[in-house]
Amino acid sequence: MKKYPVKPVMIVAIVTAISLTGWTSASAQTLDEVLGVRTNTTAAGKKSQTKIDELTDQTRDLLSQYKHVMKIVDGLKVYNRQQERLIKRQEKEIAELNESIDNVTVIERQVGPLMARMIDGLEKFIELDSPFLLKERTERISFLKDGLERADVAVSEKFSKVLEAYQIENTFGSTLEAYTDVIELDGKSRQVDMLKWGRVSLVFQTPDGEVTGVWDNKIRDWVPLGDEYRADVRNGLRIARKTMTADLVRLPVRSPESSK
């Protein structure tokens, strides 16, 4: 029987043992590396997720801010359109006002002479009218003439005063007034009680009641009246002064002249 040598078998076993020992050590090292990489990857993933979450929150905030700003921008656009329409309307009004100012300048040049003619006409009317409240009315005419020459008074105010004077003269035709005045009788100045009954009759009576008269506008003078008018004129004065209730009184009235 043939015998095989033992030494080579032992060498193979030793090599195999060494190989197994190396593989085991290599496997252990590889597992540790894999676990280490996985751990690092997980940590990195967490950091990345955290970063992503932060970026997501920032994006949401920015989006919210953007929407808010866009709402403001939309509101400003609407406001600007409104302001543009308002500005156009104001520009139109300014143009109209400038045109009105130009027209006022033209009218003002025409109003001055018109007021002068109106004052002259009113003064002439007072001269031809019955001489009641003559001092008050002539002073009003002087006031209007002085005001017409004043540069510190607006044209509108001047014109308003002229119209007011005309209105006052118009009301005299329907008012009942009693006042004290001084008139010329027989070449002498006499203080009398004057009664103005609209523009129908202007009569007087001396305080003692001895003389009663009426203004005759045709002859532009005072005419004495008979004693039959004494009581009626006295009562008319009392009615005008509200010391007597209204009643019928007889006053001399000039009949209208027939036109030819």
Q: pLDDT per residue over 50-78, tens digit each? A: 888 888 888 888 888 888 888 888 888 88
In a domain, 3, yes or no: no
Is the confidence at residue 1, as pLDDT, over 70? no
The C-alpha atoms of residue 178 and residue 52 are separated, in whole angstroms, by 105
Contacts (Cβ under 8 Å, ≥6 apart) of 222: 183, 184, 185, 204, 213, 214, 215, 216
**What is the token pair recorded at 102?**
């130009």
The C-alpha atoms of residue 32 and residue 38 are separated, in whole angstroms, by 10
In a domain, 64, yes or no: no
Please check whether residues 182 and 198 belong to one and the same domain: yes
Q: pLDDT per residue over 20-30, tens digit each? A: 555 455 555 66
Give the mean pLDDT of 202-225.
94
Please check whether residues 159 and 189 belong to one and the same domain: no
In a domain, 235, yes or no: yes
**What is the token pair recorded at 101?**
């100012």
In a domain, 215, yes or no: yes
For residue 105, what pLDDT is reported?
73
In a domain, 72, yes or no: no
For residue 11, what pLDDT is reported?
47
**Residue 43 or 194, more confident:** 194
The C-alpha atoms of residue 145 and residue 128 are separated, in whole angstroms, by 19
Output 184-190 pairs: Cβ under 8 A, ≥24 positions apart.
Answer: 184/222, 185/211, 185/213, 185/222
Please check whether residues 128 and 164 belong to one and the same domain: yes
Please check whether residues 212 and 224 belong to one and the same domain: yes
| Neighbouring-strand partners of residue 213 | 204, 224
Please check whether residues 119 and 166 belong to one and the same domain: yes
| Range name among 15-19, 101-105, 119-123 with the lowest pLDDT average | 15-19
In a domain, 33, yes or no: no
Q: Report which of 218, 221, 237, 241 is spatially closest to residue 229, judged by C-alpha positions.
A: 237
Amino acid at 26: A
| Range name among 89-103, 141-155, 226-240 with the lowest pLDDT average | 89-103
Number of structural domains (the chain) is 2
The C-alpha atoms of residue 72 and residue 18 are separated, in whole angstroms, by 80
**Cα→Cα distances 3→6, 13, 155, 206, Å:** 9, 19, 155, 192
Give the mean pLDDT of 12-17.
49
Is the confidence at residue 199, as pLDDT, over 50? yes
Please check whether residues 165 and 181 belong to one and the same domain: no
In a domain, 162, yes or no: yes
Please check whether residues 165 and 186 belong to one and the same domain: no
Q: Write out the H or E segment, with its range, that includes residue 178.
A: strand 176-185
Please check whether residues 154 and 119 belong to one and the same domain: yes
Please check whether residues 140 and 189 belong to one and the same domain: no
The parent domain of residue 195 ranges over 175-240
Q: How does residue 42 score in pLDDT terms, banded at 50, 70 and 90?
A: confident
Q: Where are the alpha helices (DSSP H) in the chain?
A: 7-128, 134-148, 155-171, 230-240
Domain boundary among 156, 171, 186: 171
The C-alpha atoms of residue 93 and residue 90 are separated, in whole angstroms, by 5
In a domain, 207, yes or no: yes
Q: Percent of the chain, pLDDT > 70?
A: 82
Q: pLDDT per residue over 161-192, tens digit each? A: 999 999 999 999 999 999 999 999 888 999 99
Please check whether residues 165 and 179 belong to one and the same domain: no
